[in-house]
Amino acid sequence: MLSSLLRPSTGLLNVTRLCHRGSTAVTSVTKPSQTRAFAALTAGADKPLEVHHRADSILTFWCGEDYRQQTISSFPSSQVNLWYGGGQALDQEIKQKFASDVEAAAAGRYNEWIDSSFNGLALMIIMDQFTRNMYRNTPKAYALDRSAVKLARAMLASGNDKQLIPLQRHWIYTPFQHSELLEDQQDSVQLHEGLLKESQESVALARIANATGFIDATQITAGRHQQSALKETEKVLPRANVLAAER
């Protein structure tokens, strides 16, 4: 599970970073201890982050042209409409623009992208979102789900997800939400609860109702997915026990 990501002293998920690339508005409203933690996490954040040209195209499309400089308060609401207001036209557009990227990701040619935050984010969007658009209502829509979970866990282990603002980081956590394994569902709930807590801890962010509301909604959705997985597990376990006893 996520025990390897817990702080030894507090047992809390390491989700204190509120956004990438110093945000004075955020640090000015946090407690001194929070400010010190934020400063430590943002050390070196002003260094240029190399983004693969294909990852740049994906993130510009999915997160907006200013994805590198975005904060939770400046995130364009039009992108949220893109995520959840799609249809056949969007599916076709994604297929036309990014089919080669989906194929490359499926072949493992983009796996090294998880070594950096923005490239890794783009890879998660390809494997967990674009597949669902391109192959809607077919088994191929979910064919990369297990690989996406594995790569997402690698990003969590390296801490590269912490370089992103919560609304971007959500897309690194959705593979856990889409998983059919209860353990992944439990991690999804924990991760999204962390995003919600992170947003609410800052007065500056808590005032942004739309952003906090979005994260709150994703946390609720994660909880529903977990309950569904739990019910499926409860159905399977009795039969599994019978089979084990018969051996």
Contacts 24+ apart (CB under 8 A), 188-197: 188/222, 188/225, 188/226, 189/219, 189/222, 189/223, 189/226, 190/2, 190/13, 191/2, 191/13, 191/222, 192/218, 192/219, 192/222, 193/219, 194/13, 194/15, 195/15, 195/166, 195/169, 195/170, 195/219, 197/15
- Model pTM? 0.65
Q: What are 13's strand-pairing partners?
A: 6
Please tell me the distance from the alpha carbon of residue 203 to that of residue 19, in angstroms, as a whole number: 14
| Average of per-residue pLDDT across 90-105 | 97
pLDDT exceeds 90 at position 200: no
- Which residues 6+ apart lie within 8 Å of 186 measured at CB? 1, 226
Residue 76 pLDDT class (50, 70, 90 cuts): confident
Higher pLDDT, 180 or 12: 180
- Strand (E) or helix (H) holding 120: helix 117-125
Residue 38 pLDDT class (50, 70, 90 cuts): very low
| pLDDT score recorded for residue 164 | 92
| pLDDT score recorded for residue 196 | 83
Range of 3-7, 15-19, 199-203 with top mean pLDDT: 199-203
Collapse the DSSP code of 156 into the 3-class scheme (helix H, G, I; strand E, B; otherwise coil) and give the result: helix
Give me the phi and psi of 13, to 5 degrees please.
-60, 140
Residue 8 pLDDT class (50, 70, 90 cuts): very low
pLDDT exceeds 60 at position 122: yes
| Average of per-residue pLDDT across 148-161 | 96
Q: 52: closest CA among 107, 106, 126?
A: 126
Higher pLDDT, 206 or 38: 206
pLDDT exceeds 50 at position 48: no
| pLDDT score recorded for residue 123 | 98
